[in-house]
Structure 1
Amino acid sequence: MKLNKTTLLLCAVLGTTTSNLALAAQKAPHNKQKQKQTSSVKNLKQELQQLKQSYRNKIAELEMRLSDIEDSNDDTQENVEQLAIDVSQQGNQKAANTFNPGVWMILNGRFVNYSDDFTYQLPGFFLGNEAGPGEQGLQLSESELNMSANVDDKFYAWSTISFGAEGAAVEEAYLQTLNIGNGFNIKFGEFFSDIGYLASKHTHTDDFANRPLPYEAFLGGQYGDAGIQTTWLAPTDLYWESGVELYRGDNFPAAGASNSGIGVWTAFTHIGGDIGVSQSWRAGLSYLHADVTDRQSPAGDSFTGVSKLTIADFIYKWAPQGNRVDQEIKLQGEYFFRNEQGFFSAANDGNLTNEPLSRDQNGWYIEGVYRFARQWRVGLRTSRLHADNLPVQFNNSFLDERDHTPTQHSLMLDWTNSEFSRIRLQVDSNNLDGNHNNVWILQYLASFGAHGAHSF
């Protein structure tokens, strides 16, 4: 590029030189004729030599200026290229921060009906504060405001604020790393545990209007708290993820934030894969260890000790050629086993104070959901609990299982207008404390905004 510009410049200068020489040649005879005494060939040669030197100097000056301009352009191009590299490395993260976070709202409302004499209680089991179907009539049930975004190239952020009958509360708020290497990631903040299958999922993604009995009895619906999580995704053909979690330990089934604010630890592993193009599955094994300090029942009874929960989960999905739009089958189940040891105090029995307690409890549920048309699904679920018999001193406490095994059968039918709205009708046939009762639930779900994809 430099040679071409210089050549053009030389041609222009030489052309001008030639014209001037021609003019000088024309003037010479004329001058000789007018001033023969003062003109000579020698003077003309000197004049021509001076003219050539002048143009040589001018050409050299122009070449130097041209070289400076080209060097400056090269530096500018290098800066532009480096800037492009920097932008390409950080562009996604900065764009995410500039144009995000993604914000979306989940509306979850329902109408609940049951007989006036129905009381939700599970003999032999502590219950969390939010267990059961709630009051009769119209309800706003745990609607959510969600925000998420990539903070930068290293971190992802998520927050969920829930709205319900009790007001607003922070449900989740955490940072998560974006692949720190070798399949490891870290999450820290307030978040739901990844034990089991349903525990980490928001309730609006469930296939039924409420959680099965074991989740109500053992986790208060689902377990979450302030904590830190480390996961590892194995480099295998099958999906295989394992992790450990540490939690503060304030929330049910823990209490009191024991051990200087590290009252709960968990461990889990999940493995899954595809069977051809139409089938997929996932299985898991999880463990939760909670140090409990003065866990209160709604009636004021308390327990202090250790709670150890083991969960086995499995889910199977079928859709023709992997296309779940018009037809799909889901089979899902989990088994829970818990051992608790410690001391129990009854609120209404002064003789039952700091009584040693050791017991085993278990429960399970299994459910199936069938999409028989693009917008229609039907589902059936059965769940059951069992608690060991306790010594006679516990007979008048709520820990007395009264020889009952709480059982619930649920039937649901839902209509999905789009991925953003759903209406569900569900009936629960309950035999929880020896008395049979049906609970009817009419539920609506709607989401709007930049809603993220749901997990498997």
Structure 2
Amino acid sequence: MLKKSVIVAALAAAFVAPMAQAKETKELAEIREQIRQMKEAYEARLAALEQRLAQAQAQATAAQSEAKAAVATAQQADSNASAAQAQNSAPAPAQGAPAAPVQASSNAFNPDISAILGGSFQRLKQDPEQYKVQGMLPPGGETGPGAKGFSLGESEITLRANIDPMFAGQLTFALTPENEAEVEEAFIQTRDLGGGFNVKAGRFLSAIGYLNSQHSHTWDFADAPLAYQVFLGGQFKSDGVQAKWLAPLDQFVELGVELGNGANFPGTARNRNGANSVAAFARVGDDIGASSSYRAGLSLLRTHAEQRGWEEDGLAHAFSGKSTTFIADAIYKWAPNGNSSITNFKLQGEYFRSKDDGTLDYDTAPADGPLGRVYSSAYTGKQSGWYLQGVYQFMPNWRAGLRYDRLNPGARHIALVDDGTLAADSFAILQPYSPRKTSIMFDYSPSEFSRLRLQFAQDKSRPGATDNQVILQYIMSLGTHAAHAF
């Protein structure tokens, strides 16, 4: 029995051992296969994650580049806006930052270049060659309504750039309808002297008044108010130096003074050392709530004239002496919550008071000869004028405006010769008359770079000769252009 049991056990072991070994081999193979599959799946997932990581890194790099470009664009736009504040001396109220440079160049080695193209069609009832403003000393410069029919308006080419960390510069050429080119402005300007001080030197539009420092393409009407034409010859500019101080306050406070050669009307070129003209101005401004703001200012211009001549009825006359002009200006702006893109309103006005004190040389035509005789006598004239205008943007891109001008001949005195050669009523400047003008305009601006304007005006600058005017105008801006003043 024992022997049989041993034999059975041996036989069982002989059969069971191979079966167990086969089972173990199969389980190991399955485990190895599972490990292989897991490894392959892991490697596939790892490769996919690495690919996603590479794509995310590429997207992050692109986004970073776009963010840098956006920041650079914003900095350039901010520099452009700051340039207009420094150039035109009229930053938005409630800004107490120091005056900014003329403009940061987008290219460190080349100036920014801009061009203004303008043109008009005018239908005038009166002959523009006979235009004059009754009761005032005839002005010089750009006065009168211009030519009838089609006309190329004054175009401008401007180059501006930062010169170095301390200086910026600007050069503006004006191309007139008479095919003449002249230097409108050519100046250097400090970027920031500290303490709110900055200095400009060269040829520039004076900062007196409100409109004077602004180029004509930024005006709300096609022409300058009568007061600007009579008292400043259109616009007053001079070769000289200007110093301004912007107070470090929340409220806008600016003071300035200018010294120049005073070669333009109401002055004349004089062969002398030193300054022939002196100007001073002071301005304040601030916000009124979230939707309104204002700016107000006082200006004084004193200059000298030497044989400032004009012709009247074929006779030549000239004034020599001192000319003093006082200007008070104010502007109010409204836009809902400060957003002027849809609708806004602007009310603007200026008052002028001028005094000429000196001598008047006048020619007469005696009956016994064609040459006439020149007399010289003392002359004193105190005259004034003003304009008030409102412009309303009633929907995006569309505006309408109304302006009223009026001049007061004031008190004028000419010491007539004893023999009565010159009658008191023979001079238009002595005849009591108050010139006035009413203008209404509509304009459409498809973008900030273009404007189309229609203007109607009734000009009563002389008695008995009402000039009904219709003006069609276009203004186009090319290139990089600084932001406009407040």
TM bracket (short chain): 0.7 to 0.9
Structure 2 counterpart of 1:320, one-letter code: P
Residue aligning to 2:439: 410
Structure 1 counterpart of 2:153, one-letter code: S
Q: Distance in 2 between matches of 1:430 and 1:260?
A: 42
Structure 2 counterpart of 1:362, one-letter code: S
**1:61-85 deviation digits (Å, cap 9, x = unpaired):** xxxxxxxxxxxxxxxxxxxxxxxxx
- Residue of 234, 238, 259 corresponding to 1:246: 259
Confirm or deny that 1:112 pairs with 2:154: no
Confirm or deny that 1:277 pairs with 2:296: no
CA deviation after TM superposition for structure 1 residue 260, in Å: 2.1
Residue aligning to 2:96: none
CA deviation after TM superposition for structure 1 residue 298, in Å: 5.0
CA distance 1:298–1:445, change in 2 (3 Å): farther
Q: Distance in 2 between matches of 1:294 and 1:352?
A: 13
CA deviation after TM superposition for structure 1 residue 446, in Å: 0.3
> Is 1:258–1:292's contact at 8 Å kept on the other side of the alignment?
no
Q: Using CA pairs below 8 Å that are at least 6 residues apart, which structure has the higher relative contact order?
A: 2
Give the SS at the match of 2:248. coil
In the superposition, the TM-score normalised over structure 1's length comes to 0.77
Structure 2 unaligned spans of 5+: 1-102, 366-371, 417-421
Structure 1 counterpart of 2:401, one-letter code: G
> Is 1:129–1:298's contact at 8 Å kept on the other side of the alignment?
no
Amino-acid identity (%) = 42
Give the SS at the match of 2:144. coil
Q: Distance in 2 between matches of 1:244 and 1:351?
A: 43
Bigger mean CA deviation after superposition, 205-214 or 179-188 = 179-188
> Is 1:94–1:152's contact at 8 Å kept on the other side of the alignment?
no
Q: Distance in 1 between matches of 2:126 and 2:225?
A: 22
> Is 2:309–2:317's contact at 8 Å kept on the other side of the alignment?
yes
- Residue of 209, 214, 227 corresponding to 2:222: 209
- Residue of 239, 246, 261 corresponding to 1:226: 239
Structure 1 unaligned spans of 5+: 1-92
Residue aligning to 1:103: 113
Superposed counterparts of 1:45-56, under 5 Å: none
Confirm or deny that 1:134 pairs with 2:146: yes
Structure 2 counterpart of 1:187, one-letter code: K
- Residue of 404, 408, 411 corresponding to 1:386: 408
CA deviation after TM superposition for structure 1 residue 437, in Å: 1.7
Q: Distance in 1 between matches of 2:165 and 2:311?
A: 46
Residue aligning to 1:286: 299
Residue aligning to 2:394: 372
Structure 2 counterpart of 1:307, one-letter code: S
CA deviation after TM superposition for structure 1 residue 164, in Å: 1.2
Give the SS at the match of 1:127. coil
Confirm or deny that 1:436 pairs with 2:466: yes
Give the SS at the match of 2:157. strand
Superposed counterparts of 1:30-429, under 5 Å: 98-117=108-127, 119-123=130-134, 124-166=136-178, 167-257=180-270, 259-260=272-273, 262-299=275-312, 300-348=316-364, 350=372, 353-387=375-409, 388-391=411-414, 393=422, 394-400=424-430, 402-429=431-458
Structure 2 counterpart of 1:265, one-letter code: V
> Is 1:258–1:291's contact at 8 Å kept on the other side of the alignment?
no
CA deviation after TM superposition for structure 1 residue 346, in Å: 2.1
Q: Distance in 1 between matches of 2:112 and 2:380?
A: 48
**1:332-371 deviation digits (Å, cap 9, x = unpaired):** 0000001110011124455562210011000000000000
Give the SS at the match of 2:217. helix
Number of matched pairs: 363
> Is 1:97–1:152's contact at 8 Å kept on the other side of the alignment?
no
Structure 2 counterpart of 1:121, one-letter code: K
> Is 1:344–1:354's contact at 8 Å kept on the other side of the alignment?
yes
Structure 1 counterpart of 2:450, one-letter code: S
Bigger mean CA deviation after superposition, 274-283 or 299-308 = 299-308
Bigger mean CA deviation after superposition, 230-239 or 121-130 = 121-130
CA distance 1:152–1:414, change in 2 (3 Å): same
> Is 2:105–2:161's contact at 8 Å kept on the other side of the alignment?
no
Give the SS at the match of 2:151. strand
CA distance 1:133–1:116, change in 2 (3 Å): closer
In the superposition, the TM-score normalised over structure 2's length comes to 0.72
> Is 2:397–2:446's contact at 8 Å kept on the other side of the alignment?
yes
> Is 1:337–1:361's contact at 8 Å kept on the other side of the alignment?
yes
Alignment root-mean-square deviation, CA: 1.8
Bigger mean CA deviation after superposition, 365-374 or 348-357 = 348-357
CA deviation after TM superposition for structure 1 residue 261, in Å: 5.2
Bigger mean CA deviation after superposition, 210-219 or 386-395 = 386-395
Q: Distance in 2 between matches of 1:248 and 1:385?
A: 28
Q: Distance in 2 between matches of 1:126 and 1:431?
A: 16
CA distance 1:346–1:357, change in 2 (3 Å): same
CA distance 1:271–1:94, change in 2 (3 Å): closer
Give the SS at the match of 2:426. coil
